[in-house]
Structure 1
């Protein structure tokens, strides 16, 4: 049983707290830079600002519960010498065949990750998302609620796949893209930007 400190006392933090408890581990408390928060969040203590992590790095693991990939990156670079917790909901379906999941990643309820897939560090695989076989998901990617990635898809760092978006098989999406909610990707995306529609096109 592990003790876990959640960075980010927000809606995403609520979901991560639930995952930790359902996985049989302990929510030790939250760190957050919002000084207007109460002393507790969901009944768990607010232990201080993010800078306070040094006081707890020998007694707990840490998970960053913040949706914005840039902020997750900044915090992950800031908190040095800590053990990062990988939060996996017990209802997630993860193949036992050649799957790797990077540290600090959060995998939510009913997500599916099939054989041969590689999930990077500090990713979010959100509720009900499907990552089919042989996908490569680089660091800090967010695959949103109900998104579907077919087989052999590559997603570059910091890209956000929106709610209900679909990516066809054997495609590559470059880093720092937003695939908006409901978009359908049917060809490689090689230019950074926001993509929407069916088929997905860049929003100029």
Structure 2
């Protein structure tokens, strides 16, 4: 797959916690320079984050929207969605060199794909998605914006994952299952049937334990 940032070797990171350190390493190993780092609480960032500027959520008028592309390096899906809504920036991508990404797949802006992840043919991954370490997304999947596919999670063919949904560590989703938006699939859960919006599913086989209102 072509380098997603080949025409611009500088990029900005919004978020300075532990998750941002993984994204930073991916970008640096791919030859990019981090031109600025922002965080909404720069006084409480990860110890390895240096020279952190204040973010936009409480200082929107002062935020430099124009400039190098941004990656929102925040692990909580709802926070990424909130930040993306207020920023007026262009977005980059971070794809680890060891990830296997089919040339027929589509990866949205702001999305990150970590070490050892696999994305098979004809899959569409939305914007600001996290495909975490060693996650496997098989053919013809549709992954909604702001979703998070956690480490070692495995999605079989023709799976749909809605906006903002979190697929937990080591979860397995069998073929043709549709998971709604803003759901939580617990770690190690085996999902055998469709999941409605705003629902939490855990166990083997997966069972609904909670459904929230919008």
Query: TM-score w.r.t. structure 2 length?
Result: 0.88
Contact kept in structure 1, 2:133 and 2:151, CA below 8 Å: yes
Work out the CA distance in 2 between the residues paired with 1:71 and 1:37. Answer: 16
Question: In the alignment, is the contact (CA less than 8 A) between 1:29 and 1:44 conserved in 2?
Answer: no
CA distance in 1, matches of 2:14, 2:197: 32
User: Is the counterpart of residue 193 in structure 1 residue 199 in structure 2?
Assistant: yes
State whether structure 2 residue 187 is matched by structure 1 residue 181: yes
**What is aligned with 2:101?**
94
Alignment of 1:110 onto 2:116? yes
Is 1:55 the counterpart of 2:64 in the alignment?
yes
Instruction: State the Cα deviation string for residues 39-93 of structure 1 (Å, max 9, x = none).
Output: x9636421333347743622x111001111111011001111x210111111110
Query: Counterpart of 2:83?
Result: 75
Instruction: Specify which of 163, 175, 183 is matched with residue 169 of structure 2.
Output: 163
Secondary structure, counterpart of 2:83 in structure 1:
helix
Q: CA deviation at 1:22?
A: 1.3
Residues 1:95 and 1:41: Cα distance change in structure 2 (over 3 Å)? same
Match of 1:203 in 2: 209
Q: Closer, same or farther in 2 for the Cα pair 1:37/1:175, shift >3 Å?
A: closer
- The correspondence for 2:43, drawn from 28, 36, 48, is 36
Change (3 A) 1:156 1:56: closer
Residue 170 of structure 2 is aligned to residue 131 of structure 1: no
Stretches (4+) displaced over 4 A: none
In 2: Cα distance, 1:71 partner to 1:148 partner: 24
Unaligned runs of 5+ in 2: 1-7
Among 60, 65, 72, the alignment partner of 2:73 is 65
Contact 1:9 1:41 in 2 (8 A): no
Separation of aligned partners in 2, 1:110 and 1:191: 29
Length, aligned pairs only: 200
Going from structure 1 to structure 2, the CA distance change for 1:140 and 1:191 (only over 3 Å counts) comes to closer
Q: Distance in 2 between matches of 1:75 and 1:41?
A: 23
Hey, what's the Cα distance between the residues in 1 that align with 2:180 and 2:202?
15
Question: Do the aligned partners of 1:118 and 1:134 also contact (CA within 8 Å) in 2?
Answer: yes
